[in-house]
A = this chain, B = another copy of it.
């Protein structure tokens, strides 16, 4: 990865987070909150939402077919579903222009932008440790 994200965040975010975690004593989190948060993460962290989020963040406002073309492998059904959920969760806006043929624009809300930002850390982690994980898997598979 020649991506500048890495160097930028390696010192800021990840190290800060690690320092935080190292300092944090084992403390129970309210299980109700935990359940809700986990549920929320489950919905936003699926395959397609992540990619669409990323795309809208990078490219800004996009039409339905523009997104469909750029998100590789997504079916129109899943795209519709994903966009609806993102709209429902307040992550994206859907703007219908009453013309023929129809023209619908999608864009991230500030909430969507902040989520995209929050996922940076994971994105960077995945890029950084991709090879390590692949190797670990290979070792595990050949050993067993």
Contact = CB atoms under 8 A, between A and B. Distances in A.
Interface of A: 1, 3, 5, 8-9, 12-14, 16-18, 20-21, 24, 26-27, 29-31, 33-38, 40-42, 44-47, 50-51, 54, 57-60, 72, 87-90, 111, 113-127, 129-130, 132-133, 135-137, 140-141
Contacts of A41: 45, 50, 122-123, 126
Copies in the complex: 2
B47 A133 contact: no
Contacts of A35: 72
Contacts of A87: 140
B141 A129 contact: no
Contacts of A12: 12-13, 16
Contacts of A51: 34, 38
B37 A133 contact: no
